[in-house]
Every structure is written in structure tokens, then in C-alpha cells.
Structure 1
Amino acid sequence: MRETFRELHTDGFFVMPNPWDVGSAVQLEDMGFKALATTSSGHAASLGRDDQEVLFDELCQHVAALTSAVGIPVNVDAERLFGDTPDECTANLIVLMECGAAGVSIEDYNPARGEIEPLVTFVAKVESCAAAAQDHGIVLTARAENHLYGRNDIDDTITRLQAFRAAGAEVVYAPGLTESEHIARIVNEVGGAVNVLLRDAGPTVAELADLGVRRASVGGMLAGVAYDAMQRCAQELLL
């Protein structure tokens, strides 16, 4: 499964939707998608919580359940990898691999401090995780969270992604981008495989493929659509 996931990143373009539970994962596999990814916000919503409130043990149970239910690769949205040091992050990456993950994403936002981690601090984590990922055949994605938290500095984002690539991340990802020009710059200036979060205000799937993006995901969008639909239907049941 890990090798299959890696091969998806070598050529072309694919969409990797984000199920929030086993049922949605099975349905997406049945539709023909080649890989799936967990969503931290969608998983949290399924537990009645906000994003970044899920415990690591709960994430592991979630990953094990999804990977046992489907026959395609699953990438894990592991937030900060629940670690403050490179060693802690790497140990948790290996645990997620043992739960069945074919890929793992790590991001540079620290919710406890409410800030983007200093570049040197996060690069040390990426470097350690990338070495372990390579040893175990896992695809590591490193995320720059600038644009989700009001730091709309594309030059800084590119600098960070370049550092993540140099540290060994196979995939780079800056969620929140909507301008084709910025996405094209990342593809051309960073290299490696680029993931983009699909957004209503951003490029279409076809346009992302033309820009040279390797992978697109949807984050918590599908979970949000499902919960919104449930609320609308349930509202009609109230007297």
C-alpha cells in the first residue's frame, strides 16, 4: 500500500478526498478514488469536538479503523504529529505507520501557542520524520499553515516549503491558497510533489492539473457538507 501511494506522486495528478469516518471512506473507495486522507476537523466533528481537540490515541484508533475498512492508501492529517520535539514527532509517525498509514502530514502551526513555529524548529522535526518515513516507505507531507492563520506572505510560504523539501519532505502543502499565480510559483520554485486544498474561490481540479500540481485534497469540506445537510433535514422535523 505504501509503494502504491508513493507511485501516485511520481507522475500526473490525482484527487485525494477526505472521509471523516469508516462509512464515508468506504463510499469514496467505491466511487473509484485511488487514495484517501483523514481530516482532523472532520474527525473532530464526528466526535462532537472542534478541530485540534482530538487526542493522539483517538487518532490512532481512527486511522486503524479506516485503513482496515478500505483497500486503498490512506494519508493521515496528523496536525503537529502531537510532538514538541523531533524525536516525539518521529515516534508518533511510526505509530501511525503501524496503524496502517501510507502517508503522514505534519504542519507548522502550534495551537497551544497560537503561532506558526519558527522555521528552524519545524525543519528539525521534518528532517527527523523524513528520515524515518524514508526508512519505512511512508510518504511525508510537510505543511506551511501561513495562509490559514492570516500570514498571507507567499514569499515566506515558499521559503518555508523550500526548507521542508530540503529537509526531506516528499510532498509540500500550503492550505488556503486560491490564486493560480501563487500555486504556480510553488510548483516551479519548490519542486517535488505539491498538494493543494480545493476551495470554491480557487482553481478547479482541471486547472490545478494544468498548473503541475500533483495532488489535491478537500480537508473537512465533505464532512461539513454532510453535517450541514443533516441539520437542514433535521430542522424540518422540529415542530
Structure 2
Amino acid sequence: MTDQMEKYQLFEQLHLRTGAFVIPNPWDAGSARILAALGYEALATSSAGLAFSIGQQDSAACISREAILQNAQDIVNATNLPVSADLENGFGPDPESCAKTISLAAKAGLVGGSIEDATGDPKNPIFDFNLAVERIAAAVEESRKHPFMLTARAENFLHGKHDLDDTIRRLQAFEKAGADVLYAPGLPDIAAIRTVCASVTRPVNVVMGLSGPTYSVSELEQAGVKRISVGGSFARAALGGLMRAAREVKDHGTFTYAKDALSSSEAEKYIFTPPKN
């Protein structure tokens, strides 16, 4: 079994090598094993995917830190790949909560994780700039005690604040505070992505598969992106398949969906085969 330091080193090298790479987002151990079998080199958890699978809303108020980390640990144990986690907003407004979350994440075997600057309060959705930076600084300080890459997220565009200048200001401050990877989900177009990448020197993560325009790996690479995630979109794609099958049976009484389903033998090959040593 690959140990945590080896996984961290592999993860770090992915961010240092030339070109962009895709880090898909499984939502459980089974989906993690399928993605590993397909040849992906690293994985990232999806709080949205987990929420869908347990019938909860995707928020720190609805899913506890313990549940997030248990799901992440299940994914860590499912493969030998490096795993980074969606750690919501650190599960607390204060810097100390962010640091504690990073400590627990490293203990769970994760080699990376993201902390966002969203408050969870619809009336005041984004943390004050200074507090947001202090939170990332505390997470960075804790991450340096472990084999752990910290991703700092600026959430403006997911919460109705379409302010690219403020988003870049935040990312630059997070970089100065020591964040290893920078991430602003929901950027409106390739021009904004290119501007963000040109404004910082650390690797930039971009998410594809959400609403809005999509771009190829090569287009994002040319814009300066290093890492591409898919958020909850793989989980939603799986749910889309379930809906199509269920509607066919309910509305038409037919079962042609089974022609496109993964065979039992193929599913078992991926899901019941333990990771290689």
C-alpha cells in the first residue's frame, strides 16, 4: 500500500509537471475504484456528490465534518491514488476551526484539501477579506505539519458576487499566505480564467461540468490552468442515468436502459478488486 508521504509526493509532482491534469471527483469508494481503474492519477472528493448520495443538502450545516472526513477516508482507502478533499469552509468561521479541519484531514490520510471563503449565510455569503486571509493562513500553518497541499477557494462567483477584481485580490492574498493551489469556481468564461491564471504564480484549479460554458483540457491548459476538477457533475451524470432508466420503466413499461448499463462482471472487476500494493 502506498503510504501518505508517497501519495503526497506523487500529488505534488502532478502540479509541477508540464501541462494540465484532470482530478475527477468520486463520491464513494466504489466510484473511486472505477475512476482509478480508468487511469486517473489523483482523486478529489465531492461534498455535492456525497450530499446527493445521502439525501442531504450540500452545506456544512447539513453534513458534519465527521461525515465529510469519513467519506474521504473511505475514498482514500479504496485506491492507492493521492486524494484531496472538499473541506467546505473549514467547518467554522474562525481560523482555529480551519486549522483543526486540516489536522483531521491529514489524519484521515488525505494529502490535500480545499478551504473556501463562503460563510454559509445567505445574507452575508462571503467572509470579510481580512478574516478570509487569516483563515487560509491558519490552514496553511497547519498543513505545513503534514504531507498536505492546501487549496484556497474564492467563492464570489458561486454566490452572486460577480467581481473578478475582488476574486483576484483574494486569490493573490491567499497565495501570499502560502496556499499551494488557488481556485475560483464559477468563473464566467475562458477570458476570466486566463486573467486569473495570469494574476497568480501558484497552480490554478478550474472546475468543469457545472452550468455555463465548458472548455476542453487543451483549451484550459492554454489558458494557464494546471488542475481541472469536475465537482459533483460525475455524480449528477450518474443520477441522470438513474432518472432516465426509472422514467423509462415508469412511463413506458420497457427496460431498454439495461443495454447501456455497466455489466455486473465489469462493475465487480472495478469495485471488488482491492488496490494493488
> TM over 0.5: same fold?
yes
TM-score (norm 1): 0.96
Which residue number in structure 1 is paired with residue 160 of structure 2? 150
User: Could you tell me which of 71, 81, 104 is aligned with 1:95?
Assistant: 104
Residue 205 (str. 1) matches residue 211 (str. 2): no
Amino acid at match of 2:63: V
Amino acid at match of 1:27: I
Residue 235 (str. 1) matches residue 235 (str. 2): no
Structure 1 segments, 4+ long, off by >6 Å, are none
Counterpart CA distance in 2 for 1:221 and 1:92 is 25
Counterpart CA distance in 2 for 1:112 and 1:100 is 30
| CA displacement at 1:112 relative to structure 2 | 3.4
Which residue number in structure 2 is paired with residue 48 of structure 1? 55
| CA displacement at 1:117 relative to structure 2 | 0.5
User: Could you tell me which of 215, 226, 229 is aligned with 2:238?
Assistant: 226
Aligned with 1:9: secondary structure? helix
Counterpart CA distance in 1 for 2:72 and 2:199 is 33
Which residue number in structure 2 is paired with residue 69 of structure 1? 78
Cα deviations across residues 144-191 of structure 1 (Å, max 9, x unaligned)?
011111111111110110011011101000001141211111111111
Residue 108 (str. 1) matches residue 117 (str. 2): yes
Residue 7 (str. 1) matches residue 32 (str. 2): no
Counterpart CA distance in 1 for 2:221 and 2:73 is 31
Q: What are the ranges of 5 or more consecutive residues in structure 1 without an aligned counterpart? A: none
Q: What are the ranges of 5 or more consecutive residues in structure 2 without an aligned counterpart? A: 1-6, 254-277
TM-score (norm 2): 0.83
| CA displacement at 1:113 relative to structure 2 | 5.1
| CA displacement at 1:231 relative to structure 2 | 1.4
Counterpart CA distance in 2 for 1:201 and 1:168 is 31
Count of aligned pairs between the two proteins = 239
Cα root mean square deviation, aligned: 1.2
Residue pair 1:161, 1:190 contacting (<8 A) in 2 also: yes
Counterpart CA distance in 2 for 1:210 and 1:112 is 36
Counterpart CA distance in 1 for 2:77 and 2:121 is 32
Q: Percent identity of the aligned residues?
A: 38
When Rg is computed on C-alpha atoms for both structures, the one with the higher figure is 2
Aligned with 2:113: secondary structure? strand
Residue 215 (str. 1) matches residue 224 (str. 2): no
Residue pair 1:14, 1:214 contacting (<8 A) in 2 also: yes
